Homo-oligomer: A and B are copies of this chain.
Amino acid sequence: MIKQETIISLLKDQKVRLTPARRALAHVFDSTAKPLSAPEILALMEKRGVMVNKTTVYRDLDRLEALGAIRPISLGGRREYYERVALAHHHHLVCLECERIEDIDLDEREILRQERSIGRAHRFTILRHSLEFFGLCQTCAYSM
């Protein structure tokens, strides 16, 4: 999987039909580094006056995921979040109060070492992991 500069350019290269809905979706991901959920994306599009049906958003998210342009991440709660694959794999810090999400970069060597040994011990082919931290951001911590 070649890392493209933008999702739009990846769609072109992969000969995926470039519809208005997909342009809008690609633009949303190309213009933010934040993890986004389908309801958030729908709201964003509506705010910008782009009317796209939610079914289309869900289907195009699946498509972008299949193309390797975005990846799903679980941040607790019932929504699935997605972020651009082009961003290096990293982890998240989630405020339990206001849902603010911050990206964090950490040294994964230790985790990857453990991942390998767990895979061996449990006879699992481990494909990915998720490491997320939950707590209170400064603002919310003060206002409690």
- A131 interface residue (CB < 8 Å to B): yes
- A132 interface residue (CB < 8 Å to B): yes
- A95 interface residue (CB < 8 Å to B): yes
Which one, B72, B122, B125, B130, contacts A130 given CB within 8 A? B130
State which residues 91-144 of A face B: CB under 8 Å.
Answer: 93, 95-96, 102, 104, 106-107, 110-111, 114-115, 118-119, 122-138, 141
* Residues of B close to A111: CB separation below 8 A: 110-111, 131
In the complex, what's the smallest C-beta–C-beta distance from A121 to chain B, in angstroms?
8
Contact A126 B122 (CB under 8 A): no
Residue of B nearest to A123 (CB): B138
